Amino acid sequence: MIQNLIDGVLTGSYISLGAIGLTLVMHILRFANFSHAELLSLGAYVALVCDALVAALVPVFAVKLAPLSLTWALVLAILMSMVITGLSALLIDRLVFKRVREKGLELSMIFASFGMALIIRNVIGLFFGLSPQLYSRDIAFAMVLSRDPLLLVKPDQIFVLVAALLLMLMLHLLLSRTTFGYSLRAVAENPSLAQVNGVNLHRTIMAVWLIGGALAAVAGVFYGLSHQLIPVMGRDLLLPIFAATIVGGIGSVYGAVLGGFIVGIAGNMALVVLPSGYTPSVPFLLIIVVLMIRPHGLFGEARA
Amino acid sequence: MIGVMSYLVFFATTASILAIAVLGLNLQWGNTGLFNGGVVAFFGAGAYGTLILGGTSQEGHLGGFGVIYPLALLGGMAAAGLMAWIVGLLTLRLRHDYLAIATFGVAVAFENLMRNAEWLAGGAKGVRGFERPLRAALGDGFLYNILFFLVVLAILIATYLFLERLVASPFGRLLRAIREDEEAAQSLGKSPAKVRLTAFVTGSVILGLAGGLYGTFYAFVSPQDVLPTLTFQIWAMLIVGGAGNNRGAIFGAFLIWGAWTASGWALSRFAPIEAQLYTGSVQFVLIGSVIVGMLMWRPEGLLPERLVVSQRGSTPSNKQGE
Amino acid sequence: MSITKYLWVAIGLAVSATALPGTAEAQDCTTKIGAVLPTSVDWGRPIAETAQFAVDQVNAAGGAAGCQIEMVLRDTQVDPKVGVDAAKALVDLEGVKLLLGAVSSGVSMPILTSVTVPGDVVQMSCCSSSTAFTKLSEDGKTNGLWFRTFATTGVQSAVAAKVAADKGYKTVAVMYKNDDWGQDMARLIAADFAAVGVEVTASVAVNDGQPSYRAEVTEALASQPESLYLALYPAEGTAAVREWISLGGTQNMILANSLKSDEFRDNVGLQYLGATLGTDTASPRSESADAFRAAYVERFESEPNGPGLANSYDATMIALLAMEAAGKDASGSDIAAAIAKVTDPNGTPVSADTAGFSAAKDVLSGGGTVMYQGGTGNVRFDKNGDVSAPAVVWAFSEGGIEEVEYMSLNDVDAFITSLK
């Protein structure tokens, strides 16, 4: 029971990171981006390549930072992947979403993102093969927190949780203490009014893609570190991330964080009450319950 | 040549069944603006309902009612309608993105239930033991396929005519009014909630009809038939064909299903042998590119909705459009 | 109106496309066979590669029934609609009399009921395991056209129970893939474990495509079993077992043959698999039985270890042997009838490679029958198209996978009877 709760918090950390990017995009650009989760797999695979590159160029970095299964090479790879994935998100917007957006039909963006998701997922599959891959084949053993009841936590997961919380804190500061944060909120509230007041709409949108892509890359690597890399990981993560975004309320960064943890915990606690075959339904039952009580999510606001 | 004919009939049957489903979705999205992300749940309810009602007795799960076929099909439609009514009551007050995800969740839960509840519908093994109507008399060769196709085609035409009438009726105008400006409609004394629910249930019954025919065609249904891919396919058909236009919906169904199958066929035929094993992934990349390209080139669909502002028959251009 | 314009374009495309075949091949004779396999899925692609490998070997032996064989491969995308349409196109447009596939029972079944049975085409699946096929055949609805080289799950589960009993395990947790195969396995294994007195502490369904299997593993772990039985595929199997071991779960594991994969061994790590035993159907004890393995290693530079690889190879080989036996321009029913001639227990044994196929050709042309000794054993089909085979218990080792114990068909049958 308590073990499930702890597991849920740990799972929630990467779901939250993914949901933050999605909620920003959904809020500023006003569309449900089905290709967002593919940025997670893109980021994870880019890091896999960078990791191998760095480790080959500077072998010293390939040593593990015990007790983590993380290496310095992977840390550098994460940073590189953040940049590359952020730029990729920007590029995809430039090539596809921007053009579709300018045509201006409500559902076009959603379907364009669905099409992009298919493209990204299968291109990754063509490049890397369809089998699972790992950053490190060694198994990092869990630490025993308590014997009765038995509580186990893996050092990697603690690292993931701490790093995710730090990133969220940085994002919080960025949004609440900087001019950029204000302009972001202004655009979200009312794009034309914000423009009249001198906010560069174009640049704000670029920033949203960069931040969203970078956070997605981290989330993807953290997922890969905790589990494994597989080309369909984006598809598998899409639903929990969407659930987190919706439960938290579209547009609310704090909502996305909370939503991520709620979805993670619910997924892990579900087995306490439901037979294991039913786990995939849990995030949705949760969404429906939350939306029944709060039609715009926990932190979301009604808007036209 | 017989082979080509036989295949085309088979293809057209599947495409027509999908076209019926696209028409159902068009009533919900195209005419009423309801973003149903769980198309496959209602489609599946129709398929499962029809096969369970009309099938022979199976050990281990519900079934064996042996209801005569037309009633079984109606039962399947009713199952879809009932589910839509419950889902609609719970979720229809949500707007776009939220509604889409909530209904998507319903579809995932539906698949999950079918996969796990063996006592209900056989679990992952699916429902079999359904005898296609009149198969004993007609055999199951080419003749049967032609007749089955004609029946499906007739149902497709009937559905089309029904929806055209409905859309042209005062109720149809009300649907569009609510889609465009709910508050204005409300201020005229209409009840948007009730109207939306009616449209949602009607559209879902049509989806259930398509599902029932689908199950009949294969004489089998399993959880693999109700995965989210189908929702995506049906939506893609509507978007490419033209939301709000029933002819666009039918056209989109044939076009997308044609492209979907033709791309697989073309890849298996023309791709070099070494590349054959990668054609699956390549095909998905192509499908994605077609959709993205379409939305960049012609987002309103190939046959866009024709908005009628004035009274019917008042302008000559309108008549011409018919 | 524009709709008619589009329609004409579509019809024009369809006609020009169908006019293409027939123009190219005039000189050499080529017989087409169809394959509908999920090539866009991780475990599906190797299955298709293995089928193509078998076709290449047959072609090296001069082809079957006097012609070179061309395998036209279509992806099912694990979508029944797509698979059925692909099968129908292969049968109607390419004129195949023999169809390999599909993998998932949910795709194979509608193909069988709506394409191959009405079209009198032999359907040979490597891997569809659902018991529904046996029932369909018993109802007389397959016209004898359905075959599968996937040994019925009963053998595997019985042997796994024997392993647990021999090892002296008192308790076991079961994790199974939540599809038709996994659900069957879970049901059978529960009964078999009970029959040998091993208590099942938890039976956990593992769904496809879940981002994390932590909760499932925690559930199994909480029941504190002495051993773990796994009926999973490598992708989710690797994830679940890594999680299991890192949380300190027992390394006394028993695996279904779906996890007999180098990828699984490498990704989990041999050091944790020392106490792990697997079950599988087996080749008979004869020299020729290694032929498949040896040729496979030469071609792919790895052992044929993965779900359905040996089954896929055997399905292709047996189907082509039957085609050879049935002769030129045979109908689907003819080929189906000829399968008994190439899996005859009293026939001349032939090995699973190019040489074996050549040898079989000589025997068959002389009016004899052959016993195909394939990658999964002395394959023999019963009247429902199901196969039974000897069994083997295996373990992971440095070099790959090695055999621990061999059970002949009689041993297996005797043990299964003792469980009842």
Residue contacts between A and C (CB atoms, under 8 Å) = 102
Of residues A4, A137, A236, nearest to C218 (C-beta): A4
Task: Give the mean pLDDT of chain B.
Answer: 86
Of residues A111, A277, A295, nearest to B295 (C-beta): A111
- B316 has pLDDT over 50: no
| A300: closest chain B residue by CA | B98
Of residues A137, A142, A237, nearest to C211 (C-beta): A237
> How big is chain A, counted in residues?
304
Enumerate chain A positions whose Cβ falls within 8 A of a Cβ in C. Answer: 3-4, 7, 10-11, 122, 125, 130-132, 134, 137-142, 144, 150, 152, 154, 223, 226-228, 230-233, 235-237, 240, 267-268, 270-271, 275-277, 279-280
Of residues A3, A154, A227, nearest to C212 (C-beta): A227
C271 touches chain A (CB under 8 A): no
Whole-structure pTM value: 0.88
Number of Cβ atoms within 10 Å of the Cβ of C216: 27
| Cβ contacts of B263 within 8 Å, gap of 6 or more | B283, B286, B287
User: C9: pLDDT confidence band, cut at 50, 70 and 90?
Assistant: low
User: C24: pLDDT confidence band, cut at 50, 70 and 90?
Assistant: very low
Q: Do C247 and A268 touch (CB under 8 A)?
A: no
> Contact partners of A by the rule of 3+ C-beta pairs under 8 A?
B, C
Q: Is residue B251 in a domain?
A: no
Torsion of CA B264, B265, B268, B271, to 10 degrees: -90
Q: Do C106 and B224 touch (CB under 8 A)?
A: yes
Q: Is residue B155 in a domain?
A: yes
What are the beta bridge partners of residue C230? C175, C255
Q: Do C114 and B118 touch (CB under 8 A)?
A: no
Q: Among residues of chain C, what percentage have pLDDT more than 90?
A: 35
- B322 has pLDDT over 60: no
Question: What average pLDDT does the segment A244-268 reach?
Answer: 89
Domain ranges of chain A: 2-232
Question: What average pLDDT does the segment C131-136 reach?
Answer: 83
B5 touches chain A (CB under 8 A): no
Closest CA to C90 of C114, C116, C113, C65: C116
- Name chain A contacts of B113, Cβ cutoff 8 Å: 278, 281
The pLDDT, as a whole number, for residue A30 is 80
Q: Do B284 and C105 touch (CB under 8 A)?
A: no
Looking up tokens 């495409």, which residue turns up?
B15
Q: Count how many Cα atoms sit within 13 Å of the Cα of residue B196 in the half-sphere of its side chain.
A: 26
Residue A42, min C-alpha distance to chain C (Å): 16
C112/A68: higher pLDDT = C112
Residue A130, min C-alpha distance to chain C (Å): 4
In order of B131, B195, B306, C261, the CA distances from B185 in angstroms are 48, 11, 21, 63
Of residues C49, C93, C110, nearest to B218 (C-beta): C110
| A136: closest chain C residue by CA | C267
Q: Nearest 5°: phi and psi at C365?
A: -70, -25
- Name chain C contacts of A279, Cβ cutoff 8 Å: 207, 210, 215-216
First to last CA, chain C: 71
- A173 has pLDDT over 70: yes
Q: Do C10 and B260 touch (CB under 8 A)?
A: no
Q: Do B224 and C80 touch (CB under 8 A)?
A: yes
Q: Count how many Cα atoms sit within 13 Å of the Cα of residue C260 in the half-sphere of its side chain.
A: 26
DSSP label at C350? E
- Name chain C contacts of A137, Cβ cutoff 8 Å: 266-267, 269
- Name chain C contacts of B8, Cβ cutoff 8 Å: 14
Query: For residue A138, how far is the Cα from the chain centroid?
Result: 25
pLDDT (tens digit per residue) in C237-264: 998 999 899 888 899 999 988 888 888 8
Alpha helix locations (H) across A93-198? 98-103, 108-128, 155-177, 179-189, 191-196
User: B42: pLDDT confidence band, cut at 50, 70 and 90?
Assistant: very high
H/E stretch holding C324: helix C309-326
**Helix, strand, coil % in chain A, rounded to nearest 5:** 75, 5, 20
Q: Do B108 and A104 touch (CB under 8 A)?
A: no
The pLDDT, as a whole number, for residue A51 is 92
Looking up tokens 């309810």, which residue turns up?
B45
Q: What is the 3-state secondary structure (H, E, C) of chain B?
A: CHHHHHHHHHHHHHHHHHHHHHHHHHHHHHHCCCCCCCHHHHHHHHHHHHHHHHCCCCCCCCCCCCCCHHHHHHHHHHHHHHHHHHHHHHHCCCCHHHHHHHHHHHHHHHHHHHHHCHHHHCHHHCECCCCCCCHHHHCCCHHHHHHHHHHHHHHHHHHHHHHHHHHHCHHHHHHHHHHHCHHHHHHCCCCHHHHHHHHHHHHHHHHHHHHHHHHHHHCCECHHHHCHHHHHHHHHHHHHHCCCCHHHHHHHHHHHHHHHHHHHHHHHHHCCHHHHHHHHHHHHHHHHHHHHHHHHHCCCCCCCCCCCCCCCCCCHHHHHHC
Q: Which residues of A230-241 are buried (b: 16+ CB within 10 A; e: fewer)?
A: bbbbbbbbbbbb
User: Which of the residues C246, C259, C262, C273 would you substitute to probe the A interface, choosing the one with the greatest number of A C-beta atoms within 10 Å?
Assistant: C246
d(CA C289, CA C400): 18
Looking up tokens 């009926």, which residue turns up?
C231
DSSP label at C284? -
| Cβ contacts of C323 within 8 Å, gap of 6 or more | C31, C33, C64, C65, C97, C98, C330, C335, C338
B contact residues 103-132, partner C, Cβ 8 Å cutoff: 115-116, 118, 122-126, 128-129
- Name chain A contacts of B104, Cβ cutoff 8 Å: 239, 284
The pLDDT, as a whole number, for residue B310 is 43
The pLDDT, as a whole number, for residue B315 is 43
- Name chain A contacts of C239, Cβ cutoff 8 Å: 132, 227-228
User: A223: pLDDT confidence band, cut at 50, 70 and 90?
Assistant: very high
Of residues B278, B282, B296, nearest to A99 (C-beta): B296
- B287 has pLDDT over 90: no
- C291 has pLDDT over 70: yes
Q: Do B280 and C38 touch (CB under 8 A)?
A: yes
Pairing assessment for the beta strands C370-374 and C377-378 based on DSSP bridges: antiparallel
| A30: closest chain B residue by CA | B97
d(CA C134, CA C92): 27
The domains of chain C, with CATH numbers, are 28-150+286-389 (3.40.50.2300), 153-275+390-419 (3.40.50.2300)
Of residues A137, A276, A277, nearest to C267 (C-beta): A137
- Name chain C contacts of B217, Cβ cutoff 8 Å: 114
C11/C308: higher pLDDT = C308
Task: Please state which of the ranges A186-195, C24-33, C115-124 shows the lowest mean pLDDT.
Answer: C24-33
Q: Do C183 and B218 touch (CB under 8 A)?
A: no
pLDDT (tens digit per residue) in B4-32: 999 999 999 999 999 999 999 999 998 88
Tally of structural domains, chain B: 1
Radius of gyration of chain C from its Cα atoms, rounded to whole angstroms:
22
Radius of gyration of chain A from its Cα atoms, rounded to whole angstroms:
19
Q: Do C45 and B277 touch (CB under 8 A)?
A: yes
Residue A95, min C-alpha distance to chain C (Å): 26
d(CA A43, CA A210): 12
Residue contacts between A and B (CB atoms, under 8 Å) = 125
d(CA B311, CA A21): 47
Most confident of A251-255, B59-63, C198-202: C198-202
Q: Do B101 and A285 touch (CB under 8 A)?
A: no
| C138: closest chain B residue by CA | B129
Which tokens sit at C102? 């599909």
d(CA C364, CA B290): 51
The pLDDT, as a whole number, for residue C5 is 56
Task: Give the mean pLDDT of chain C.
Answer: 84
What are the beta bridge partners of residue C72? C34
Please calculate the CA angle A46-A49-A51 and round it to the nearest 5 degrees. 105
Residue B262, min C-alpha distance to chain A (Å): 18
d(CA A132, CA C333): 41
Which tokens sit at A237? 């993560």
> Residue A109 in 3-state DSSP?
helix
Of residues B124, B144, B280, nearest to C77 (C-beta): B280
| B320: closest chain C residue by CA | C1
Q: Is residue B60 in a domain?
A: yes
Closest CA to C14 of B303, B15, B288, B246: B15
Q: Do A107 and B35 touch (CB under 8 A)?
A: yes
The pLDDT, as a whole number, for residue A122 is 92
The pLDDT, as a whole number, for residue B50 is 94
| C35: closest chain B residue by CA | B268
C247 touches chain A (CB under 8 A): yes
Pairing assessment for the beta strands C391-397 and C377-378 based on DSSP bridges: unpaired
Q: Is the peptide bond before C284 cis (omega within 30 degrees of 0)?
A: no
Q: Among residues of chain A, what percentage have pLDDT more than 70?
A: 98
Residue A44, min C-alpha distance to chain B (Å): 19
pLDDT (tens digit per residue) in A3-23: 888 888 888 999 999 999 999
d(CA C53, CA C40): 18
Looking up tokens 């080509």, which residue turns up?
B4
Which tokens sit at B78? 């009713």
Task: Please state which of the ranges A40-54, B128-142, B242-256, C320-334 shows the lowest mean pLDDT.
Answer: B128-142
A105/C83: higher pLDDT = C83
pLDDT (tens digit per residue) in B209-233: 999 999 999 988 999 999 988 998 8
Residue C239, min C-alpha distance to chain B (Å): 21
Cβ atoms of residues C149 and C178 within 8 Å: no
